[in-house]
Amino acid sequence: MAYKSTHTFINLPVKELNRSKAFFSSIGFEFNPQYSDENAACLVINDNTCVQLLTESYFQTFVKKPIADAASAAAGIIALSANSRAQADELADKALAAGGKPSKEPADHGFMYVRSFEDLDGHLWEIVYMDMGQ
């Protein structure tokens, strides 16, 4: 039997926790206060997925490697689905208006549409709409 997780928790180091919280709040995300404090903020993606934004000093307590500077090196891309092209555009546009940076030009592959941005710490995000009917 293949392994199937019921929940996904992504941990990201951030330089300024309150600034990151304000950024993600302004583009429409909520936080779970039960799993948030002065070192961490639990960004809710959906009922089964959270991104734990951790201060760099707190993040360092979980890893032996140095923290990568996401502003100058890519370590991964967090891709979230959208319900429509319009929703993908809306979320990416909000991120850019809130201080995010464009990562790549929008990509239209016919069946898949992708908008990309960097958050305030340089982490890469993609908002993807997939038209499964094509």
Q: Do the strands 77-81 and 124-130 form a parallel or antiparallel pair, or are they unpaired?
A: parallel
Instruction: Report whether 60 contacts 45 (CB < 8 A).
Output: no
Q: Is the pLDDT of residue 134 over 70?
A: no
58 and 74 co-located in one domain: no
Instruction: Report whether 116 contacts 48 (CB < 8 A).
Output: no
pLDDT tens string 29-60: 999 999 999 999 999 999 999 999 999 999 99
87 and 110 co-located in one domain: yes
58 and 77 co-located in one domain: no
Q: Note the pTM of the prediction, 2 decimals.
A: 0.90
pLDDT tens string 109-132: 999 999 999 999 999 999 999 987
pLDDT tens string 62-104: 999 999 999 999 989 999 999 999 999 999 999 999 999 999 9
27 and 87 co-located in one domain: no
Give the domain range for residue 103.
Answer: 69-134
131 and 73 co-located in one domain: yes
Amino acid at 12: L
Residue 87: helix, strand or coil by DSSP? helix
CATH number of the domain where residue 7 is located = 3.10.180.10
The total domain count for the chain is: 2
57 and 95 co-located in one domain: no
